[in-house]
Amino acid sequence: MNPETLRGYALRAAVEDVLYDYAAALDEGALERWPFFFTAGALYEVVSRENEERGLPLALVRCEGRGMMIDRATALKEVLFYSPRTYRHFISNVRPVWRSEERIEAVSNFVLLQTLVERETTVLVAGQYRDTLVVEDGKLLFGGKRCIYDTTMIPNTVVYPL
């Protein structure tokens, strides 16, 4: 096995670590930590595959920078009404590539399971993350994240971030 391939494996492991930490924070309900997986100026978008394929710019969620992410996290924690629930992220098929000296692009698949009070567990959404990662202060952070969801019809609401 050549060194190039091994470096590729190390890269995947590093990106997977970030994705799994991200998922763990969300699944634990640690919303206040969510914005800090991103650089201050990162664009976080949740976009339907329908809009994406038709070239339509509308996002379901669009946070232009960490400030908007903090506002959404705070609103979810302190302001909005919704029934209690558990979300569980499954992330797989992680494929990162170096785009330049300091920029990684990674696509991966996600499935989000939802469990409500007195209800069985169901699939809420499935789709693909298209991420940009950069190194900042020795840490890998999302410089941008597009969550493209396949789910044409959302089962009622998407409360927590994908």
| Residue 117 near other proteins by CB under 8 A | no
| Residue 113 near other proteins by CB under 8 A | no
| Residue 14 near other proteins by CB under 8 A | no
3-state secondary structure 64-125: ECHHHHHHHHHHHHHHCCCCCEEEEEEEEEEEEEEEECCEEEEEEEEEEEEEECCCCEEEEE
Largest CA distance in the chain: 54
Q: Which of residues 35-54 bind other proteins (CB under 8 A)?
A: 46, 48, 50-51, 54
Residue of 1, 4, 57, 100 interacting with other proteins (CB under 8 A): 57
What burial class does residue 48 get, using C-beta atoms within 10 Å of its C-beta: 0-12 exposed, 13-18 middle, 19+ buried? buried
| Residue 68 near other proteins by CB under 8 A | yes
Residue of 82, 90, 93, 150 interacting with other proteins (CB under 8 A): 82
Rounded to the nearest whole angstrom, what is the least distance from the CB of residue 101 to other proteins in the complex?
A: 30
Query: Residue 95's beta-bridge partner residues?
Result: 107
Q: Which is nearer to other proteins, 51 or 109 (CB)?
A: 51
Q: Which is nearer to other proteins, 96 or 161 (CB)?
A: 161
Stretch that binds other proteins, among 15-23, 71-79, 93-101, 107-115 (CB under 8 A): 71-79
Task: Give the three-class secondary structure for 33.
Answer: helix
How many CB atoms neighbour CB 26 within 10 A?
Answer: 20
Residues that bind other proteins (CB under 8 A): 46, 48, 50-51, 54, 56-68, 70-72, 74-75, 78-83, 152-159
